[in-house]
Structure 1
């Protein structure tokens, strides 16, 4: 779930801050030109056990043409904190240690993926409902689950009708979205993305613990996602007129709410991709070469 300020008022944003070296910027590069996102509302395809095979086939078909991939993960809150220490005083390694502790110890609930192609425009949005979380046994933050429930997430339905994370892992690899050596270069889009990317790495490594340090995490992100990973929160931060929070930014820019599941993981992926396309071609003239880290600024 996105920890952006103004979007999730129930609990504070995750305490992760990381600055990449200025030369070379490992995650931010020029992306190929592409038309602006179309204006009609985007439908979300909700994926459960009963339609997993059909929707996985649909995702694999669309992935061949995708050049932009947005990801958003809903997860059961944050349970490891800095013990009252000011997050601004933490080092990059200390901040990463908190992210690692939370991601290693908690179980993702939903993964939203939205795709866009240079020649085809919008290709689709899929919301994978995961069944691995056990509310009575697994660590979680009750306020976070309550907040997600108010947005429409039914944890009981996930457990009864969802899919295993390892099934999603297989689909992502088979589609070619993960491990960029298998297909054309793609840009990955996220909003305030430290936790989203970290949970995605956990899923595609079949639940393995995250790397021990920031350098190892960098290597894992490059290995599975490639070198083009953009954080829309930082892009919007360079535009003084933009409000805070992904939903507020999307509304400010006039984007329609996604159809079906409009407040959950895939909808956030759609919004992140819509905002990215607008900022890239509307505000920055197609030239987005960021020099600040994907994971910087999550205080």
Structure 2
């Protein structure tokens, strides 16, 4: 299973905290990301992080969809379901256009990396 988010570090923080039964999240980023991998597996992709590796892909989810000609089929922008569907479609199109549909290429640098929590090199 592949999990797709857009700028989803806080979303994963919320869900992981709930899965921990309300216990505090770990203070170290590595420990938090290990919990994300534990609960969701290795195939977690943040579209906002992927966009950093694609020419001319800047801005938010709406702009990414516009640049990739991905329509929003559900009219209610900024509603969880509508945004989730749009993020999944943008992910699919971004993968097709920039990475030739090769998820193995994505996995090498983007699997498990949440935008804003990228490792410092």
Q: TM-score range by the shorter chain?
A: 0.7 to 0.9
Q: Which moved more, 1:243-252 or 1:257-266?
A: 257-266
Summarize deviations over 1:151-205 as a string: whole Å, max 9, x none: xxxxxxxxxxxxxxxxxxxxxxxxxxxxxxxxxxx11111122112111212223
In the TM superposition, residue 280 of structure 1 has moved relative to its aligned partner by 1.2
Aligned to 1:253: 68
- In structure 1, what is the Cα distance between the partners aligned to 2:58 and 2:25? 33
Secondary structure class of the residue paired with 2:109: coil
Gaps of 5+ in 1: 1-185
In structure 1, distance between residues paired with 2:34 and 2:80: 26
Q: 2:38 aligns with which of 214, 217, 223?
A: 223
Residue by residue, what CA displacement relative to the aligned partner does 1:120-166 show, whole Å, maximum 9, x if unpaired? Answer: xxxxxxxxxxxxxxxxxxxxxxxxxxxxxxxxxxxxxxxxxxxxxxx
Q: Which has the higher strand share?
A: 1
Match of 1:73 in 2: none
Match of 1:212 in 2: 27
Q: Give distance in 2, aligned partners of 1:243 and 1:216.
A: 29
* Structure 2 gap ranges (5+): none
What residue in structure 2 maps to residue 296 of structure 1?
118
Higher helix share: 2
Tell me: CA distance 1:204–1:261, structure 2 relative to 1, closer, same or farther (3 Å). farther
Distance change in 2, residues 1:261/1:296 (3 Å): same
Distance 1:226 1:269 in 2: 19
How many aligned residue pairs are there? Answer: 112
- Contact 2:43–2:107 under 8 Å retained in 1: no
RMSD of equivalent CA atoms: 2.0
Which residue of 92, 99, 103 corresponds with 1:284? 99
Give the deviation of 1:228 after TM superposition: 1.0
C-alpha distance in structure 2 between counterparts of 1:291 and 1:262, whole Å: 30
Counterpart check, 1:240 vs 2:62: no
* Bigger Rg, structure 1 or 2: 1
- 1:242/1:249 contact within 8 Å kept: yes
TM-score (norm 2): 0.78
> Per-residue displacement from partner, 1:227-279 (whole Å, max 9, x unpaired)?
11111112122221223111111122222224253331222211211111001
